[in-house]
Amino acid sequence: MVLSTRKKRQRFNSKNTKQQRPDPIEAAEGFEAKENDHSSDSSHFRDTPPQSVLLCSPEVSLDSPPNAPAWIDRYSDIHAQTGLAVSKKKFNEIMDWLSLALEHAAPRLLVLSGPPGCGKGSAVRAACEKLECKMVSWDAPLTGSLGISTTLIEDFQSFVIGTRYRSLVTEPEEAQDMHEYKATYSAKGNANERRLLLIDDLPLHLTDLRTHKETIQQLFWNIARYAPYPTILLLSENENGIHRLSKLILGQSLLQSEWVGTLAVPPVTTTMMKKRLQELLSIENITVPREQLERIVSSSNGDIRSALNILHLFTTGDGQVQPTESRTHRKRKRPRVSKKKENLQLEFDRDVALSTYHAVSKILNNKRGESGQSRYVAEEILDEARTDPTTFVSFLHQNYPEFFGDCDDVVPTLTCLSEADTLLPWRQEQDLRVDLRECAASIVTRGFLYFNTQPRRSGWRPIRGPESQKTAKESRSHVQYSKMAFKGCIHPSISTRSELCETLPYAKKIGELSMSRCARFAPNAATNRDYAYSDAKMGVNARGADLMANGGQSLGVSIEAEEVEDSTDPIEEWEADDWQ
Amino acid sequence: MSTEGLLWVDKHRPSTFSELSYHSVLTKNLQSLSNTEVPHLLFYGPSGAGKRTRVHCVLRALFGQVVEKKKVVHRTLKVETKQIEVTTVASAHHIEVNPSESGNNDRLVVQELIKDMASSAPLDMKKSLKVIVLHDVDQMSQLAQQALRRTMERYSKTCRVIMVAESITKVLEPLRSRCLGIRVALPSKSDIGVVLQSVAHKEGITLPDALVQRIAETSGRNLRRALLQFEATRVSVGALELPSDAQVMLGDWEYVCQDLAVMLTRSQTAHQLIAVRKKLQELLAHAVPGDVILRRLLEEILRIADDEICPEICRVAAKFDRNLTKGTKPIFHLEAFAARFMQIYAAFLKQQAAMMD
């Protein structure tokens, strides 16, 4: 199973070269012996089951010199030898943009966003090489000392100002030493040279970005408008935060302007990743069993950098691949297929986060094993989902009806939900109460897993986000509106519960009815009723304004004239949002 | 003085003790109380009984005509780093506020406002007390109520607190013991009839007794609701002389609750539950509090359902009402109640069918 070329084998001592097809035990022994030679901790390896040793190929691990750069760095420009991780189509899009921008010397900005490790950086580098243009990148100074946020911004500011002058667009000399692995090119000399400004991930914290939003947006505005060279901004955004970051950094108006193009790079596909890794392995002359390669690929979640790291770790057996105690809880997750597979998972699985939607659908679909027991453990799904428990519960609640086959199952589940909700409140009593939210979430999740005995299996049922937040928002704006509309007419203009659910609906109705009578409509209350919500606006608006105008004097409530004027605007604004 | 645009509830609201028409014993007691030094007061009783009217009468008796000159003040309280917007109604002698409106910040609102009131000494030393009126005290968080208790003690020399609450059980025990509790019961049906007739007289409307009876019935002895229903009915009829068979108008959300009850009894499927949920969300979006919906829905259901299952339904409703007050998301509990009712009702129907056979 471990194959190596003759050339490689020659480098090994005779003991190892004998074992062309070592069985597990022998391989372990061989490995152990070798380790002893290197005077490293041998007991370490004796404890490990032979299977785990099988996973690493000892020959290769010994082959690599102790100080060899990690694969991740060695193959940072792997595209030169193999191919890019991004799809051909995406690469062509980048090429098109770049060649267009270079030709017309249009000062434009491209925002290239995608999850980390999707190969956006390499794609840009490759495109630059192909078009023979030099890349000037801004690398955040590592020596940012104490006031990091300001110095970083100041540094970036000076970089941006520098970009306005062709002569200043050069890479600082020392940058080459500082970032030896980065493919940065010193761009000196010829002013007619083609150049590209590359801004690789602003190294600012999100809160910094928020506080300095205006400054940063102004800077990018300058770049987009006045920079002499095309600029590419690389942004690491995960699926959930698409465009949120770019919107924050650039601002809405700039993003939509003609100077800025946006391009989203998807995570690397499994086939593409497998292909690339295979190519790399052939360069390294290593063979990794297909099954294991597949596992690495799937656990990397479309992040080629992580896949490379895992693969490197996998192929060098320097002892890091010990199964660790802390991971053993994962054993519960899936039924034991074989010991070998189990070990594999222990060692190389990355902690993969489930997206909330995925986790919710897992629970709602509620696949059960042969014995009728649920295949999942509620808490583990909750852990993997990494969502706020309250939100998770809301998600479950929003989506459950479509997944229940039996109506009778709904009742205990909802009762569970209702009981758990009493544990959820988490207001200002923080220091008085224990946080029970996780407990509540696990009660709910278990309720859904346990009580849904006949989950419905058919059809496409998309998972939706919870509506409760929207409802709360609407309710708030409703309160605000009613406060405005009935400022003068309700006794003390303080909105209490009784006003919201008694005075207000009637006032609406009265206003609406009097309006419809004025307009010579037949006041048929029974037919009007269904439309009362939407129709009420007319009545209330007229009456509200009316009330506001004379309510003050009548009640002895003195409202300043400006106040009344001011208050009319929010009503209209609100209406536009809510009623139409 | 123009009162054109005002709702009748507000237009004909009594402002002195002499104008109050029912609970005469209570009125007399309050009157004599207002002549002496007033303690902290806690008015409690169901909605629409006339708590706030009585608070206002007390204020009027204490300070005279001046309290009628009220002003709406939007204040911004700065506490620590937070800024809290509060709407208050204030006169020279008193201030009204609904702390529960500020949600989680109600504690700070209570503390800051009382501190503010107490620190500025009143000009007229004879009426040296300032009054702070707190609405919906039972909706305030426990923490705010605790804070209120301490603040009340500290500033009791310079200010008095009048609290208004619907349910006294949600008010902390120590807070209750610091106040004189005054229960304002709902007016009887005949009381409501008297008030309605007097309003009709003032508006120049002929109101037949049969209609009065029906309004008193549908309003559930809630005077505010009765007056509003009366006005709505009057507007929908459009004439000064109301026919005795005129339809009594209800609030929109009450119609929705009626529909919901009918929907629940019509079919008991998951599909129906989705439709019910949609309606409930709609109600909540229109700022109708969850417990009010639950209560109303229960009333409507009890009207339709057979006596046999009513005790069980009430028991279930009580359970979910408890969860609702303790929990965060009213929709969970309302939906759970709806589902549970469906189950009970479906079982009942099945049983009936079996008995028929």
Summarize pLDDT for A168-201 with one digit per residue, the tens: 444 444 344 433 333 333 444 444 567 777 777 6
Q: Are residues A433 and A367 in the same domain?
A: yes
| Distances from the Cα of B244 to the Cα of A467, B195, B219, B234, angstroms | 44, 18, 17, 12
What pTM was computed for the model?
0.63
Half-sphere exposure (Cβ direction) of A383: Cα atoms closer than 13 Å: 10
- Establish if A256 touches chain B: CB-CB under 8 angstroms: no
Cβ atoms of residues A514 and A491 within 8 Å: no
Is A575 within a domain? no
Residue A88 is assigned to a structural domain of this protein: yes
Neighboring chain A residues of B288 at a CB cutoff of 8 Å: 500-501
Alpha-carbon separation of residue A396 from A356, A361, A367, A443, B147 (angstroms): 10, 9, 16, 12, 37
Nearest CA-CA partner of A410 in B186, B67, B213, B276:
B276
- Segment A325-345 shows an average pLDDT of 39
Across the interface, whether the CB atoms of B252 and A532 are under 8 A apart is answered yes
A310 with A222, same domain: the answer is no
Label residue A240 by pLDDT band (50, 70, 90).
low
Q: Are residues A388 and A432 in the same domain?
A: yes
d(Cα A381, Cα A239) in Å, to the nearest integer? 19
Least Cα distance to B312 among B264, B344, B266, B352 occurs for: B344
Closest in B1, B222, B343 to A553, CB measured: B1
**Residue A391 pLDDT level (bands cut at 50, 70, 90):** confident
Kindly state whether residues A261 and A282 are assigned to the same domain: no
- Residue A389 touches chain B, beta carbons under 8 Å: no
What's the CA gap between A556 and A277, in Å, rounded?
Answer: 81
Distance (Å, rounded) from C-alpha B207 to C-alpha B227? Answer: 12
Mutation target for B interface from A391, A423, A496: give the one with most B CBs within 10 A: A496
Q: Which of A415, A437, A465 is the last residue of a domain?
A: A465
3-state secondary structure of B262: helix
- Same domain for A248 and A286, yes or no, is no
Question: Is residue A116 domain-shared with residue A225, that is, in the same domain?
Answer: yes
User: How far does A244 lie from chain B, in Å, by closest CA?
Assistant: 27
pLDDT tens, chain B, 357 aa long: 345 567 788 888 888 898 898 899 999 999 898 888 788 999 999 888 989 899 989 999 888 888 888 888 888 888 777 788 888 888 888 888 888 878 778 888 888 888 887 776 655 555 567 888 998 888 888 888 888 888 888 887 778 889 999 888 888 888 899 889 999 999 999 999 999 999 999 988 888 989 999 898 888 888 988 998 898 888 888 888 888 888 888 878 888 999 999 999 998 888 888 899 999 998 888 888 888 899 999 999 998 888 889 999 999 999 999 988 888 888 999 999 999 999 999 999 999 999 988
Q: Does the pLDDT at position A32 exceed 70?
A: no
B248 CB within 8 Å of a chain A CB: no
Measured between CA atoms, the residue of chain A closest to residue B285 is A475
User: Is B124's Cβ below 8 Å from some Cβ in A?
Assistant: no
**Residue A475 counted as domain residue:** no
Q: Which CATH number do you get for residue A78?
A: 3.40.50.300
* Interface contact B254, partner A, CB < 8 A: yes
Q: Is A531 on the interface with B (CB under 8 A)?
A: no
Nearest residue on chain B to A504, alpha-carbon basis: B251
Q: Does A125 fall in a domain?
A: yes
Does residue A324 belong to any structural domain of this protein? no
**Minimum distance, in Å, between the CA of residue A382 and any CA atom of chain B:** 20
The distance from CA A158 to its chain's CA centroid, rounded to whole angstroms, is 31
Same domain, A426 and A365: yes
- What are the tokens at B31? 């009157």
Residues of chain A positioned with their CB less than 8 A from the CB of B251? 501-502, 505-506, 509
B84 forms beta bridges with B77
**Number of domains composing chain A:** 3
Phi, psi values for residue B261, rounded to 5°:
-60, -40
Q: Mutation test of the interface with chain B: which of A388, A428, A481, choosing the one with the most B Cβ atoms within 10 A?
A: A428
CB contact B5 to A (< 8 Å): yes
Count interface pairs A-B at CB distance under 8 A: 235
For the stretch B276-319, pLDDT in tens is 999 999 888 888 888 889 999 999 999 888 888 999 999 999 99
Chain B: give the shortest CA distance to residue A490, in Å. 7
For residue A158, tell me if it sits in a domain: no
A236/A275 same-domain check: no
B139 touches chain A (CB under 8 A): yes
Interval A458-503: pLDDT, tens: 677 778 878 877 888 888 887 777 766 665 554 445 566 777 777 7
Question: Is A424 close to B328, i.e. CB distance below 8 A?
Answer: yes
Is residue A6 included in any domain, yes or no? no
ipTM value greater than 0.85: no
Residues for chain A: how many in total? 580
**A291 inside 8 A of chain B by CB:** no
Q: What is the pLDDT of residues A277-324, one digit of tens each?
A: 787 777 777 777 777 777 777 777 777 777 777 777 777 754 333 333
Q: Is B65 on the interface with A (CB under 8 A)?
A: no
Residue A411 at interface with chain B, using a CB cutoff of 8 Å: yes
Is A479 touching B (CB cutoff 8 A)?
yes
- Whether B263 and chain A come into contact, CB under 8 Å, resolves to no
End-to-end CA distance of chain B: 71
Claim to verify: residue A283 and residue A372 sit in the same structural domain? no
Q: Tell whether A249 and A281 lie within a shared domain.
A: no
Q: Count the neighbouring beta carbons within 10 Å of the beta carbon of residue A190.
A: 9
- In the listed set A208, A241, A267, which residue is the last one of a domain according to the structure? A267
Q: Do the domain assignments include residue A87?
A: yes
Based on the fold, state whether residues A208 and A295 are members of the same structural domain.
no
Full residue range of the structural domain in which residue A289 is found: 271-316
The angle at the Cα of A169, spanning A164 to A173, to the nearest 5 degrees, equals 150
> Which residues on chain A are in Cβ contact (under 8 Å) with B346?
407
The confidence score (pLDDT) of residue B37 equals: 79
Partner residue facing B228 (CB), from A411, A502, A546: A502
**Single residue among A267, A300, A331 that ends a domain in this structure:** A267
Residues A211 and A276 in one domain: no
Helix or strand holding residue A268 (H, E): none
Question: What residues of chain B, 191 to 210, have a C-beta less than 8 Å from chain A?
Answer: none
